[in-house]
Amino acid sequence: MPDETGLHVKITRGPPFWWEIYRGDDPQWVERSMCGYLMENEARFDGEAALHRLINRDVQAKRAVGP
């Protein structure tokens, strides 16, 4: 699910499943899960939650800097 920041979640094949967050087409992940998941839907749920936290951090950082 890409958004205006260009961040998106990928789930690795498993088990164990891992979530990884990428920015645009960059092959290096920005953030990755520290543990594996037995079920893909658990990895996807936590990956999406981490994505939202990362987006919120980016937004807060931009607000702190100001225009």
pLDDT tens digits, one per residue of 41-52? 999 999 999 999
* Residue 44 forms part of a structural domain: yes
Is residue 2's pLDDT more than 50? no
* Residue 54 forms part of a structural domain: yes
* Residue 51 forms part of a structural domain: yes
Banded pLDDT at 56 (limits 50, 70, 90): confident
14 vs 57: CA distance, rounded Å: 29
Range(s) of the domain holding residue 17? 7-60
* Residue 1 forms part of a structural domain: no
Task: Give how far Cα 61 sits from Cα of 1, 13, 43, 53, Å.
Answer: 22, 33, 27, 12
* Residue 67 forms part of a structural domain: no
Q: Domain total for the chain?
A: 1
Banded pLDDT at 4 (limits 50, 70, 90): low
* Residue 37 forms part of a structural domain: yes
* Residue 39 forms part of a structural domain: yes
